[in-house]
């Protein structure tokens, strides 16, 4: 081969340019490493796995304990090859989610998320930028707006009647009800109604979505190895399972989109999410892949989070009979005697119910570490320079239980959120950095209104119609936690309902 022919001035320039890029990248990474080395960090970092071995089966608890010792505000841990900033104090949370929200609003790359959500084209995993902004706009203005949530009311009431019938049947037989399952099915069925309105139960779809979500949770839940060792993604069994799972989602959603497209509903308040997305697809330039990714997000982000919050609330009510009695008294006094069920108008006057919801989410935020964020530029947090490209975890669970921020932090005391109390002004909107069950800033959950009404309406009705007891011989409510796609109670909540007679 004639090398002289290859070594043209252009190719020499190209080699020189490549050399400069390599030098630039090496300098950049060594600068980042220098900055990381200045951050407080736990000892016992191992080659390759970093601090992964310290994270254990309940990462939110382990990270809180590590932070107390090694970095109460900010701490750097290495998860495999990924440097991760852990934020555990309200001040540091404010810095990353408000002061530098624009710099921390991206998401780290998730190989499994890429497969399931067509290259992370869903809202929750999309990197910060124009595409994500468009999706957020679609979701907040067309799918999850207060008006759209109100328009879904009849569907929620229909699902609620089915739940009440099921529980009433159990009272007749004096048998225990799996309340965890009741909440889980209700959360799923309410989303099904919102997404596919006129077709939810046809062909057992509710059940199919439930099963698909269960598999999704296994694929996306916990600390996923390929997130921390991206080079394993090609060899990884989970990724291969994700490919099959994606095909099942695609078949189901493609069929639903086709069915909707062949018979479009144009009356705004009657449109389900698929109708809405089809009606705005041209305006926003959405492909079928984009539509499917958004729909999957609604299921993924809206189902288990709601169910887990309800399950914890009911578990806490059973452990705290004083609170249960007080809540029951409020709910029963706000509803006209003899009414078939608590309706959404009744909820407005139930301030203790709202306080119970907040208190349940303070102690048990289902997204204990939020969804990981990613920084897109260098910035200073708590006196440390954080390099661009740093993964961020905010320990919302630790913030909610910080004894320096909350009176009797470990106690279930909804009164703290009632008018006149110290924390009465606390809301879900991410303005109080001790209390972030829905996150804060640009990436705050867009489903708060949807979640709150779903939570309140079923809890109010279950408390209104029934008195609840633990099954005979039960040792009490087991609060053992499990970490997955969210933090949930490990053991199903079995309770015996009795019809309340004084209504």
In angstroms, give the least distance from the CB of 434 to ligand HEM: 15
CA atoms within 13 A on the CB side of 290: 17
Task: Classify 450 in phi/psi space as left (phi over 0), alpha (psi -120 to 50) or beta.
Answer: alpha
306 touches ligand HEM (CB under 6 A): yes
With contacts defined by CB under 6 A, how many residues of the chain interact with ligand HEM?
25
What are the DSSP E strand ranges found in 225-285? Answer: none
Min. distance of Cβ 172 from ligand HEM in angstroms?
Answer: 31
Q: What is the DSSP string of 271-332?
A: --HHHHHHHHHHHHT--HHHHHHHHHHHHHHHSHHHHHHHHHHHHHHHH-HHHHHHHHHHHH
Q: Which is nearer to ligand HEM, 36 or 438 (CB)?
A: 438
**Cα 422 to Cα 435: distance, rounded to the nearest angstrom:** 14
Cβ distance to ligand HEM smaller for residue 110 or 366 = 366
Q: 């320990």: which residue's tokens? A: 395
- CA–CA dist 397, 407 (Å, integer): 16
Figure out which of the listed residues 443, 465, 488, 489 binds ligand HEM, where binding follows CB under 6 A.
443
Question: Is 447 a residue that touches ligand HEM (CB under 6 A)?
Answer: yes
CB of 271 or CB of 305, closer to ligand HEM: 305
Candidates 248-256, 302-310, 377-385, 411-419 — which segment interacts with ligand HEM by CB under 6 A? 302-310
Q: Are 394 and 370 in contact (CB under 8 A)?
A: yes
Instruction: Figure out which of the listed residues 233, 276, 301, 355 binds ligand HEM, where binding follows CB under 6 A.
Output: 301
- 302 binding ligand HEM? (CB under 6 A): yes
| Close Cβ partners of 190 (under 8 Å, ≥ 6 residues apart) | 152, 155, 156, 159, 306, 454
Q: What sections of 71-144 are H helices per DSSP?
A: 90-94, 111-116, 130-138
In sequence order, the β-bridge partners of residue 86 are: 75, 393
Q: Is 147 helix (H, G, I), strand (E, B) or coil?
A: helix
Pick one of 77, 103, 298, 493: the residue that binds ligand HEM (CB under 6 A).
Answer: 298
Calpha distance 78→76 (Å, rounded)? 7
128 binds ligand HEM (CB under 6 A): no
- What residues are designated binding site? 445
Q: Does 297 bind ligand HEM (CB under 6 A)?
A: yes
Distance CA 107, CA 126 (A): 7
> Residue 400, interface with ligand HEM (CB under 6 A)?
no
Phi, psi for 248 (deg, rounded to 5): -65, -45
Residue 451 in the binding site for ligand HEM (CB under 6 A) = yes
Cβ distance to ligand HEM smaller for residue 160 or 176: 160
Residue among 193 and 328 whose Cβ is closer to ligand HEM = 193
Q: Based on CB atoms, which residue is closest to ligand HEM, 83 or 367?
A: 367
Footprint of ligand HEM on 46-105 (CB under 6 A): none
Interface segment toward ligand HEM; rule CB under 6 A; list 226-234, 303-311, 343-351, 375-383 = 303-311
Please report whether residue 367 would count as binding ligand HEM according to CB under 6 A: yes
Name which of 101 and 236 has its Cβ closer to ligand HEM. Answer: 101
Tell me the β-bridge partners of 87: 74, 394
The two three-digit tokens of residue 100, written as one number: 């530098």
| Interface region with ligand HEM, contact rule CB under 6 A, candidates 39-47, 157-165, 341-349, 445-453 | 445-453
Residue 405 Cβ vs ligand HEM, minimum distance, rounded to whole Å: 18
DSSP labels for 7-48? Answer: --HHHHHHHHHHHHHHHHHHHHHHHHHHHHHHS---S-PBTT
Q: How far is the CB of 441 from ligand HEM (least distance, A)?
A: 7
Q: Under the criterion CB under 6 A, does residue 437 sit at the interface with ligand HEM?
A: yes
Q: Which of 76, 72, 3 is nearest to 34 (CA)?
A: 76
Contact segment (CB under 6 A) with ligand HEM among 9-17, 246-254, 284-292, 433-441 equals 433-441
Task: Scan residues 326-365 and list those touching ligand HEM (CB under 6 A).
Answer: none
Q: Where is the binding site for heme, in residues?
A: 445
Measured from each CB, the residue nearest to ligand HEM is 447
Q: Determine if 136 is a binding residue for ligand HEM (CB under 6 A).
A: yes
Say whether 161 sits in a helix, a strand or coil.
helix
Angstrom distance (rounded) from CA 94 to CA 25: 31
Q: Looking at 110, 121, 226, 366, which residue binds ligand HEM (CB under 6 A)?
A: 366
Interface with ligand HEM, residue 305, by CB under 6 A: yes
The answer to whether 438 contacts ligand HEM (rule: CB under 6 A) is yes
Residue linked to tokens 């990724």: 239
CB of 48 to ligand HEM, least distance (A): 28
Which residue's CB is nearer to ligand HEM, number 54 or number 160? 160
State the residues that interact with ligand HEM by CB under 6 A: 123-124, 136, 144, 297-298, 301-302, 305-306, 309, 366-367, 370-371, 437-439, 443-447, 450-451
């Amino acid at each position: 081969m004639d090398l002289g022919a290859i070594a043209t001035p252009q190719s020499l320039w190209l080699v020189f340019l490549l050399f400069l890029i390599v030098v630039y990248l090496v300098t950049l990474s060594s600068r980042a490493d220098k900055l990381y080395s200045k951050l407080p960090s736990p000892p016992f970092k191992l080659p390759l796995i970093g601090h992964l071995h310290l994270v254990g089966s309940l990462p939110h608890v382990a990270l809180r304990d590590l932070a107390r010792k090694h970095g109460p505000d900010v701490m750097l841990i290495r998860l495999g090859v990924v440097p991760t900033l852990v934020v555990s104090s309200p001040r540091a949370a404010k810095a990353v989610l408000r002061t530098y929200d624009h710099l921390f609003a991206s998401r780290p790359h998730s190989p499994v998320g890429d497969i399931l959500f067509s290259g992370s084209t869903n809202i929750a995993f999309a990197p910060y930028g124009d595409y994500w902004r468009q999706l957020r706009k679609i979701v907040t203005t067309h799918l999850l707006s207060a008006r759209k949530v109100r328009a879904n009311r009849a569907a929620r009431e229909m699902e609620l009647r089915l739940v009440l019938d099921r529980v009433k049947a159990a009272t007749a037989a004096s048998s225990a009800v799996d309340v965890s399952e009741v909440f889980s099915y209700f959360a799923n069925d309410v989303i099904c109604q919102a997404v596919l309105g006129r077709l939810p139960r046809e062909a057992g779809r509710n059940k199919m979505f439930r099963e698909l979500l269960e598999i999704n949770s296994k694929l996306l839940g916990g600390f996923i190895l390929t997130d921390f060792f991206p080079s394993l993604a090609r060899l990884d069994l989970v990724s291969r399972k994700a490919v099959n799972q994606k095909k099942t989602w695609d078949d189901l959603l493609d069929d639903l989109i086709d069915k909707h497209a062949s018979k479009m509903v144009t009356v705004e308040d009657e449109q389900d999410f698929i109708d809405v997305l089809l009606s705005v697809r041209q305006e926003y330039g959405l492909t079928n892949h984009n539509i499917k990714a958004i729909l999957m997000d609604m299921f993924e982000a809206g189902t288990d989070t709601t169910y887990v919050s309800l399950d914890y609330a009911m578990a806490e009510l059973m452990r705290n009979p004083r609170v249960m009695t007080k809540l029951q008294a409020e709910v029963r006094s706000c509803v006209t005697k003899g009414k078939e069920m608590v309706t959404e108008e009744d909820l407005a006057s139930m301030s203790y119910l709202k306080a119970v919801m907040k208190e349940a989410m303070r102690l048990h935020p289902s997204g204990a570490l939020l969804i990981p964020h990613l920084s897109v530029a260098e910035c200073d947090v708590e006196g440390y320079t954080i390099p661009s490209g740093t993964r961020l975890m905010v320990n919302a669970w630790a913030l909610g239980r910080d004894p320096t921020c909350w009176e009797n932090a470990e106690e279930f005391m909804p009164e703290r959120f009632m008018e006149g109390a110290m924390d009465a002004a606390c809301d879900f909107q991410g303005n109080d950095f001790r209390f972030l069950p829905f996150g804060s800033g640009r990436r705050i959950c867009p489903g708060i209104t949807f979640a709150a009404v779903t939570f309140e309406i079923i809890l109010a009705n279950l408390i209104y119609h029934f008195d609840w007891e633990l099954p005979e011989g039960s040792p009490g409510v087991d609060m053992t936690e499990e970490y997955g796609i969210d933090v949930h109670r490990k053991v199903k909540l079995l309770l015996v309902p009795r019809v309340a007679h004084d209504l």
